[in-house]
């Protein structure tokens, strides 16, 4: 059992749908501590991604993720475009030359992608960024697979860890990004980037665990 090109495409489609559905919610979160455009920007980016993904014929997983990356970088404003672009670019690099990804391959690719995001944004846990959702998700996935759990339950654990991580950004004082300018006033608000990252982990679980 592994991740096929079709499942990777479903991940992108699911994420685009989730962003569209939660566009106003993400923008509302960002209005409290950011520029108020995270949902709008991510939705614009994913809407641009979908036609390019649908136009890929006979592509592989690496090409798919790299296409998503370059589209997000060119269409999403603020920090979100470069950071999500970095995430997908590393996923593409890690899956190069592989027609199908094993659960271990996906776990390693996700870990490398999260590390790339951290390097790009200079963020560590509790900085109140997307890393607060992505890193726990990656760690939970790796831990559950190492313990011998099946892929579906491991993906669910990753999704749960991302959700918990997003919620745990609420009391934090932002130390990175636009929200850091608010200082103590950033506390009490859920980070929009961590929230969209949780949506990404939900989209992943739905795409990869379906029918398993």
Q: For the segment 51-63, what is each residue's pLDDT rounded down to a tens digit?
A: 999 999 778 999 9
- Greater model confidence, 124 or 88: 88
Give the closest residue to 92 by CA, choosing from 72, 112, 74: 112
Q: Backbone phi, then psi, for 124, in 5-degree steps?
A: -125, 165
- Greater model confidence, 123 or 17: 17
- Please give the class, per CATH, of domain 5-209: mainly alpha
Asked whether the predicted pLDDT for residue 31 surpasses 90, the reply is: no
Helix (DSSP H) and strand (DSSP E) numbers for the chain:
9, 0
Give how far Cα 39 sits from Cα of 65, 117, 166, 191, 195, Å. 21, 19, 15, 12, 10
Q: What is the pLDDT of residue 153?
A: 96
Query: Quick one: average pLDDT of 111-129?
Result: 92
Asked whether the predicted pLDDT for residue 129 surpasses 50, the reply is: yes
Query: Quick one: average pLDDT of 159-167?
Result: 97
Cβ 50 vs Cβ 30: under 8 Å: no
Q: What is the pLDDT of residue 62?
A: 97
Query: Quick one: average pLDDT of 200-212?
Result: 85
Cβ 40 vs Cβ 23: under 8 Å: yes
Q: What is the pTM assigned to this prediction?
A: 0.93
Q: What is the pLDDT of residue 212?
A: 40
Question: In the 8-state DSSP scheme, what is residue 22?
Answer: T
Give how far Cα 30 sits from Cα of 39, 48, 93, 123, Å. 8, 21, 30, 18
Query: Quick one: average pLDDT of 69-87?
Result: 93
Weakest mean pLDDT among 8-17, 54-63, 137-146, 177-186: 177-186
Place of tokens 């745990």: 168
Query: Quick one: average pLDDT of 199-211?
Result: 90
């Amino acid at each position: 059992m592994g991740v096929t090109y079709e499942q990777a495409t479903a991940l992108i489609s699911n994420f685009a749908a989730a962003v569209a559905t939660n566009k106003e919610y993400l923008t509302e979160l960002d209005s409290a501590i950011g520029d108020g455009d995270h949902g709008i920007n991510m939705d614009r980016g994913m809407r641009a991604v979908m036609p390019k993904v649908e136009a890929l014929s006979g592509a592989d997983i690496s090409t798919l993720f790299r296409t998503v990356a370059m589209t997000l970088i060119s269409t999403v404003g603020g920090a979100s475009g470069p950071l999500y672009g970095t995430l997908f670019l590393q996923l593409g690099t890690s899956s190069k030359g592989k027609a199908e990804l094993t659960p271990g391959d996906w776990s390693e690719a996700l870990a490398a992608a999260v590390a790339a995001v951290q390097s790009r944004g200079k963020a560590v846990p509790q900085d109140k960024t997307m890393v607060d959702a992505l890193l726990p998700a990656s760690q939970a996935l790796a831990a559950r697979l190492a313990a011998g759990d099946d892929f579906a339950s491991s993906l669910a654990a990753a999704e749960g860890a991302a959700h918990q991580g997003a919620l745990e950004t609420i009391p934090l004082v932002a130390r990175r990004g636009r929200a850091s300018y608010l200082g103590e006033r950033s506390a009490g608000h859920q980070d929009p980037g961590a929230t969209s990252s949780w949506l990404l982990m939900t989209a992943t679980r739905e795409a990869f665990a379906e029918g398993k």
